[in-house]
């Protein structure tokens, strides 16, 4: 087991967040399908696949043997879902978070990518 330092705690937090986020793809799939751009086909299938990917990557971050590969997977996943975040901002409804929060999420995505990148070496 790794030492319990700030980086290890950060890794466990990230792993937990992505695992839970992946599970939510199956708990509230309509939310994820609604934020997908219309030009992307197979919304339900892609929501399910991205949920499986998030669960697998989140769990992969918990193990030293798969941590680096899982971190690269998170980086790629965050890049892949960025169009959905842009579309969510552009198509916001009253049920969604406030406009400022959706706008803030766009540059925050870069920080999330960097956070995952710190575990790739």
Task: For residues 71 and 76, give the distance between their C-alpha atoms in angstroms, rounded to a whole number.
Answer: 9
Confidence check: pLDDT of 4 > 90: no
* Sequence-separated (6 or more) residues with CB below 8 Å from residue 82: 106, 109
Share of the chain above pLDDT 70, in %: 98
- Of 97, 110, 15, 10, which Cα lies nearest the Cα of 56? 15
What confidence score (pLDDT) does residue 2 get? 53
Q: Tens of pLDDT along 85-114?
A: 999 999 999 889 999 999 999 999 999 999
pLDDT of residue 59: 98
pLDDT score at 113: 98
Which pLDDT score, from 0 to 100, does residue 95 have?
87
């Amino acid at each position: 087991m790794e030492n319990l330092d700030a980086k290890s705690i950060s890794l466990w937090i990230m792993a937990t967040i992505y695992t839970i986020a992946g599970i939510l793809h199956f708990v509230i799939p309509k939310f994820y399908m609604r934020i997908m751009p219309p030009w992307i086909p197979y919304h339900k299938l892609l929501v399910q696949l991205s949920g499986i990917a998030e669960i697998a990557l989140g769990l992969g971050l918990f193990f030293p043997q798969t941590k680096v590969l899982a971190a690269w997977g998170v980086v790629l996943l965050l890049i892949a879902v960025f169009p959905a975040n842009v579309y969510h901002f552009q198509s916001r409804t009253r049920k969604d978070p406030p406009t400022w929060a959706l706008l803030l999420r766009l540059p925050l995505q870069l920080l999330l990518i960097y956070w995952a990148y710190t575990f790739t070496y």
